[in-house]
Amino acid sequence: MDRLKGKVAIVTGAAGGMGKADALLFAKEGAKVVVTDLQEDKLQAVVEEIKAAGGEAAGFKHNVASEEDWQRVVAEAVSVFGKIDILVNNAGISDATPFMDQTVDNWERVMKINVTSIFLGQKYVIPQMIEAGGGSIINISSIAGLTGGSGTGPYTASKGAVRLLTKATAVDYAKHNIRCNSIHPGFIETPMTVDMFKDPQMVQWFQMQTPLPRLGKAEDIANGVLFLASDESSYITGVELPIDGGYYAK
């Protein structure tokens, strides 16, 4: 308990899945949590769950690809809680359209939601972190950002971009005591992957690729995010952390 006591965090894509797990764990560990998403009803349910457990939270509708929305959300977060110490760029989309069937519009959509959103989040949160004396940014990438993947061209490219944007940010803002790290989930059951996890053959394939004898849960990612958000990782920046049951070790 209290690993994030006194800290204020923004978690995007927090209406469900990994973002929700991050937000609930952060609140349990003493953080004041700003949760954002486009799904307002589910987002409000997360806020109410945190408050019912004795935590503090606020929720804002948020299109992470919109610069205006980022400006508004950051301003509202500071207005409500006074500062920002932690940013978890969790929101993202998947895409498995065959490469030759891709369109420029679809490519740009994936890049805006998966990469431009992180650029914007960092752009508007970093000044607040400098004012607060430092902070921790955790960008959610993917194992697809570490290795190539069949049938996932734009998605893989976007997640690889997240990895190196993270490193560049870490180098540029270390002097301000701002840390920036990326997490690379493996095969995790979330609302975004639920259809794949309903397919027994797909689940069997996932398990064949994963050395540990189980697949991942959102809480597995949240535990890693918590570590990187906390002062326990105060000398860690610019790293990629695979949380993948050993997939990347092969």
CATH code assigned at 125: 3.40.50.720
Q: Which among 124, 155, 173, 247 is annotated as catalytic?
A: 155
Residue 98's pLDDT is 83
Residue 132 lies in a domain: yes
- How many whole angstroms separate alpha carbon 90 and alpha carbon 17? 10
Residue 212 lies in a domain: no
**Cα dihedral sign, 140-144-215-232:** negative
DSSP bridge partners of 184: 242
Residue 210 lies in a domain: no
Residue 225's pLDDT is 98
Residue 59 lies in a domain: yes
pTM: 0.95
pLDDT in tens, 165-201: 999 999 999 999 999 999 999 988 877 676 767 778 8
Q: What is the mean pLDDT of the chain?
A: 94
Report how many domains make up the chain.
1
pLDDT band at 151 (very low <50, low <70, confident <90, very high): low
Clarify whether 155 is annotated catalytic: yes
Residue 199 lies in a domain: no
Residue 90 lies in a domain: yes
Residue 167 lies in a domain: yes
Residue 153's pLDDT is 86
Residue 97's pLDDT is 82
- How many whole angstroms separate alpha carbon 152 and alpha carbon 233? 32
Share of the chain above pLDDT 70, in %: 97
Domain that holds residue 146: 8-189+218-241
First to last CA, the chain: 35
Query: Residue 30 class from Cβ within 10 Å (0-12 exposed, 13-18 middle, 19+ buried)?
Result: middle
Residue 71 lies in a domain: yes
Tokens at 220, concatenated:
């597995």
Q: Is the pLDDT of residue 242 over 90?
A: yes
